[in-house]
Every structure is written in structure tokens, then in C-alpha cells.
A and B are shown apart, each in its own frame.
Chain A
């Protein structure tokens, strides 16, 4: 029961963090290696707004999400747009930007466990004899909310449909008058905003440390690969697999195996079904 509950919560957390990465990759085929860096940045921005500027917490959160989305959009507009299509340069550039942000934050003094965000909901409740703090339940609820909202957005709004079109067939979408570069910009901003949203939900559970940036990146990538790069449904299923695997290793082995498990899962996926669980669409493209 405990395993089930915490497994679900952990899985939703994972899928929230992975959503931004898999969204950007799914729409514009851009691997955003700066994903983890944006995650940490948004937490730091909110912390700065609350502690240095003394802003209202809610306002700070909105500001943090918007600022991160703008950072993502600028990153696309100023740098990635110029090297679009050159895959080696894309990978190197996003990786370099991510590293620059993370190490810059570390150099700028983001060290130790002094950087914490207050949780939205204090206290905890009993669920079937297990104490669960409200923040985790809030993460669960808003995770489901975000997925629903995103699904509706993609299905019923014009921008969402355009994004979906680009994801399915970029050339055909361009023929229908969809500006691929502009939509990629939107997807980058959206992905960055989503990673900020995830960060703000999850970071109150611990403290803001720069190493989270690398962990988030790795787990997002693991989830995206296992689910099939760019497949949203696959990402959710995969985050449940990895989420439960993590909780199970934590209970039966020790926390140190968590990362080994994710890597093992990636390797097994690559060996057995390289395009991931639901990555049917681009199967032929990815294989040699």
C-alpha cells in the first residue's frame, strides 16, 4: 500500500519533470540538454523573488514560470534558431548552455541546503494508515491537472493543433502555412515553462541544489527514451515504470541503485525496442 501510494506520487513527479523535455523533442526534434538547468533556474528565480525582493509567494511563482519560459524562448531565438538542423551543433549548444547555467549558479553561490522554498500546503493527512504530506498530494493533483490541460490544449486550440501537426509531419505542416520556426519557439517556451512549473511544485519538498539539474536531466531523458522519444503517452507510462522501479529499489535495496536502475532501463529499452514503448511513428527514422 505504501509502495503503491509513494510509487504513484513518485511517478507523477517524474512525468512532470520529463514533460518539458519530451514536449520540446516531440514537437521540434530538438534535444534540450538545458532542461535540468532551466528547472533549477526557475526554482532559484522564485527563491530570489521571495527572499530578496520580498514578493508575494504566488506572484513569485507566476514570475518564475514566465521568466523561465522567456529564457527558453530567448535561447531558441538567439542561439538554436541559427543552428537548426545541424544536429551536432544543436546537441553541443544546448548542452553548453545548460552547463553554463548550472555551473554559473554554483559559482554564484547556490550551494548547500540553505535554499528552500516554502510548501504551499503545510501538514499531512493519513491515507489508509500512511502519513502523506499535503504538498505531495498537491503535486499529484496538479500533475494530473497539467496533463489534462495539455491534452485539451493540443486537441482544441489552434496553436495546439499546429504544434501537433509539426510534430507529426513538419513538411506537410509548413505546406499548410504553419510557421515551423515560430511554433518551435512556442514549444521551447512551453517546455521551459513546464519545467519551471514542475520545479516549483517539487522543489518545496527538498532544497534547491544545483546537482538536481543533472538528475532532472537524466531522469527526464530516461523517461523519454523508454517511452519513446517525443511520445507523450509513452513518457507517462515510462515514468510510471521508472517511478515504481525507483520506489521498489528504495524499499528493497537502497537509494543508491536508483540511477543504476534508470540507466539499465535505458539500455534494455535500446536493446529490445529502440524506439521506446510507444515510439512507433518514427521507428524507421531512428534505426540504422
Chain B
């Protein structure tokens, strides 16, 4: 066996093969095999606030975790399904947060209206801002999205707009802390499964095609720029929703909504969790965000840490954790003669 010519062979587990076809409904075990991971995720997320009931601080971490997860899903969707790398996730958070603040404080919209309205307004504005570079391939999108958050920070600071460096205070808070937890958790789950459904639909196929070969999409008579704009709209809607929510949780919208953390943690989460499958983004956030709370003491050193881990994952384990676990779940390995 050890003459150096052996190779590892991966074979689907029997239960996987059976549950792929009609036999999926044949027994409880097969059904559980299929739905187990999903139930684990949904139930785990929904039970989290109850389990953490004795720790109010960690219950607040759930909120920020969900916002990061939303951003990571948006990043993953853009990068691995359309091929647009967004380096400025904080732009969405900032726009959503500021819109929520304006709607709530200046226009006196109630909280349950201001958050969706802010998400919509933020998504429209970011799509319009990004539109010029959508007709181009390559690094332009990354560059432009990198610039916008920095630009917004400078402009708000310099011209003392929207409360300047003090920000806008006095937003309504959520009526209760459980409502605060569960509203964002449900939004996260809805976005996660909804977006997956979109990707499995026809439009998702076209989006993947835009990433792989945009010329052939064009040749099929589909407007590539429109598809890209639609994707950016969806992603920025998700991001702005998180931002608007966050502004209401903090009861404040300020310059720190454009902070670098909102740009880099989602990227790191997607890289660690595994790109292209949306769930990886959530798994990455579940790992990174609590870790980052433990490391709060280190300040900006955390960003160095994320970046190093991120680079290491890109270089050495570019598939990420989630695809790795999926493989282990579905296949077993054995040595075979080559």
C-alpha cells in the first residue's frame, strides 16, 4: 500500500446517495440526514438569545453578529456569485444607518417604517453611486467601493453634515431586548434562505454566468449591466438593512458606522467560512465575531489579526471551512491503488 503510488479516493456515503433521489422520503434517517444541518443552524440561531439570557452583554453581541452575517452574505453574494469584489461593506452600513437616523429623527417615522425605508433608500443610493463602474470588468468595482466609505467619512467630517463628527443622536430604540434579538435573527434567516432560493432560480443561473463568462451572457441577449445592477441592489439592500438596524440599536448614527471593521470582518468571515454558498459567511461570522469580542482589549490589532488569518486561509485553505465540512459530511475517503 505504501509504494507511493496510492491515491486518496473520495466516495459518497451511502446515505447521501440514497437521499439524493426519491429515497429521500423513504425513512426518517434519510430525512434527518438531509434536514439535520439546516435544523441545527436554524434552531441554534433561534435558541441563542434564550441560552444567553443570563448574559445581557452577549445578547447584544448576537445583534452585531447578525449584522456582520448580513454583510458577509452580501459580500459573498457579490463576490462569488456575480464576481464583484466589494471592499467597502461599511458604505452600506453607513448609508443605511444615516438614512434611518434621518427618517427617524428628522422625519419622525416610527421604527418599523424607518428601517425598511432606510434600507430601500440606501440600496437605491448605493446602486446609483456604483452604477458607473458596473459596465467594466476587473478591479474597478473593488476600487470604487473601497473609496466611497473613506469619501463619506471625509465629506461628513469636513462639511459638518448630518451632525458632523458627533453624529445624529436620539433614534428610537427597540421596545424590548428580545424583540431586538429576534427581529434581526429572523431577518438573517429569511435573507439566508431567500437569497439561496434566488441563486437556485433562473436569475441565479444568469448571475453565475455573468461571473464565469459575461460575453456569453451578452450573446444570449441578456443585459449584463442590468443583472449586475440588480445584484448590487440586492446586496446593498441587505447591507443597508443591517446598518439601519444597527443605528436603531445604538440609538445613534455616526462616523463609526463607516468604520473599517464593517469592511474587513465580512471579507474575513467569507474567506474562513467558505465562499459561494452563503452559509459559509454565517459560519465565519459565528467564529469571528465572538472571537473579536474576546480580543476587544487589543484594539486595532484585531484588524491585523483578521487580515493575517484571512491571508493564511486564502493561501493555504482557499475553500474555507464550510465546503470542507460538507465534504466530510457527504463523503468518506480511503486509499486506493493508483
Is B a genuine binding partner of A? Answer: yes
List the interface of chain A (C-beta within 8 A of B). Answer: 31, 33, 78-79, 82-83, 86-89, 91-93, 95-97, 99-100, 103-104, 106-107, 214, 217-218, 221, 225, 229, 254, 256, 259-260, 263, 266-267, 270-271, 274, 285-288
| A100→B307 contact, CB < 8 A | yes
Q: List the 9 closest A-B pairs by CB distance, nearest first.
A: A256-B158, A100-B307, A96-B307, A103-B303, A31-B139, A107-B301, A104-B304, A270-B132, A107-B300
Given contacts A79-B311, A221-B147, A266-B144, contact A99 B260 (CB under 8 A): yes
| B140→A270 contact, CB < 8 A | yes
The 8 Å CB contact of A92, one of B83, B143, B303, B314, is: B314
The 8 Å CB contact of B304, one of A87, A103, A256, is: A103
A-B contact pairs, 12 of them (CB 8 A): A79-B314, A92-B267, A93-B315, A97-B311, A100-B303, A103-B260, A260-B154, A274-B140, A286-B138, A287-B136, A287-B137, A288-B137
Q: Report the minimal beta-carbon distance from B304 to chain A, rounded to whole angstroms.
A: 4
- A-side contacts of B155, CB under 8 Å: 256, 259-260
Decide yes or no whether B232 CB sits under 8 A from chain A: no
List the interface of chain B (C-beta within 8 A of A). Answer: 79-80, 83, 85, 87, 132-133, 135-140, 142-144, 146-148, 150-151, 154-155, 158-159, 214, 218, 224-225, 260, 264, 267-268, 271, 275, 298-301, 303-304, 306-308, 310-311, 314-315, 318
| A267→B85 contact, CB < 8 A | no
- B-side contacts of A96, CB under 8 Å: 264, 267-268, 306-308, 310-311, 314
What is the bound-complex CA distance between A285 and B140, given in angstroms? 13
| B311→A100 contact, CB < 8 A | yes
Given contacts A89-B314, A99-B260, A100-B304, contact A266 B147 (CB under 8 A): yes
| B147→A218 contact, CB < 8 A | yes
- B-side contacts of A270, CB under 8 Å: 132-133, 135-136, 140, 144
Q: Report the minimal beta-carbon distance from A222 to chain B, rounded to whole angstroms.
A: 8
Q: Report the minimal beta-carbon distance from B258 to chain A, rounded to whole angstroms.
A: 12
- B-side contacts of A229, CB under 8 Å: 138-139
What is the bound-complex CA distance between A233 and B214, given in angstroms? 30
The 8 Å CB contact of A87, one of B133, B138, B306, is: B138
What is the bound-complex CA distance between A221 and B142, given in angstroms? 11
| B300→A100 contact, CB < 8 A | no
